[in-house]
A and B are shown apart, each in its own frame.
Chain A
Amino acid sequence: MADKKKKNLPPDAQNYQKFQQQREVKRPLLKNCLKAFFIGGLICLIGQVITTFYIYFFHFTEQTAGNPTTATLIFITMLLTGFGIYDRFGQFAGAGTAVPVTGFGNAVIASAIEYRTEGFILGVGSNMLKLAGPVIVYGVFSAFVVALIKTILIKWGGL
């Protein structure tokens, strides 16, 4: 798609694009991946500590302890987002803070706080899920398709 767009440009602009591509700062892939690995791993490790805590003290099972863990992590995210710590972390860790469920929580909570100035109904209420919306929408839709196919296979395919 990008190539098609380029063909319509005048030659000077094409040259400029080439020049700009050469000069573009390469993203340090390995360093970013290492950061993402360690911060993401650390968040999951904290999650595992919380999961173990729920299993031992509140008698959840391995399978059901995921839910309170998620809620606890999002609660911690609320505090970190509110005090402005999470964004600083996020700039450093990239996907390491975006991919765990805390990133989802941060997206919701940060937009809730940000739009508070526009009022609680039209601001917080309608903009809260702006960033997290795609995740919910395509999560639900893809889960629907997968579960539908699986159900049909089980019921009529004799899987």
Chain B
Amino acid sequence: MIFFWAFVVGGLICVIGQIMFDVFKLTPAHTLSILVISGAVLDGIGLYEPLIDFAGAGATVPITSFGNSLVHGAMQEAEQHGIIGVVTGMFEVTSSGISAAIIFGVIGAILFKPKG
């Protein structure tokens, strides 16, 4: 069942992105920034965690989860170290997305030649 909800919720988040592209005529960079910010805000008010429990990868794969896990890392450290933890714990949970993108980006640049 979780596979079905992953498909539906993930698809719906992409539809929101598509509507921002087509109806509001936003650039991809604007759209993705807004989605990341809304992910952070949703986690702030405690709505993103239940969505992950409900839809699994449907909520963790779209870019909104990036904002969610940034807030999560910050909150984890903040529980131990207070306000300073907000700054130091920011990348605690998210590191995988950014580091994977950078690592595979460099490997890709070594392996592949630009086309056209």
Contacts and interface: CB of A to CB of B under 8 A. Distances in A.
Identify which of A83, A111, A124 gathers the most chain B CB atoms within 10 Å of its CB.
A124
| SS of B interface (majority) | helix
Contacts of A68: 96
Interface in B54-101: 55-58, 60-63, 65-67, 69-71, 74-75, 78, 82-83, 85-87, 90, 93, 95-101
A39 B13 CA distance: 11
B96 A71 contact: yes
A74 B101 contact: yes
Chain A interface size band reads: 35 or more
Nearest to A106: B101
B113 A51 contact: no
A118 B81 CA distance: 44
Nearest to A146: B44
A1 interface: no
A139 B112 contact: no
A62 interface: yes
Given A62-B53, A66-B65, A151-B86, A41 B10 contact: yes
Interface residues of B, number: 79
A149 B18 contact: no
Contacts of B67: 139, 142-143
A104 B108 CA distance: 15
Contacts of B16: 95, 99
A33 interface: yes
Interface of B: 2-3, 6-23, 28-33, 35-37, 39-41, 43-44, 52-53, 55-58, 60-63, 65-67, 69-71, 74-75, 78, 82-83, 85-87, 90, 93, 95-102, 104-109, 111-115
7 contacts: A29-B19, A38-B11, A44-B10, A48-B7, A98-B28, A124-B105, A143-B74
Pairs A-B, 6 closest by C-beta atoms? A44-B10, A40-B14, A41-B11, A95-B17, A143-B70, A47-B57
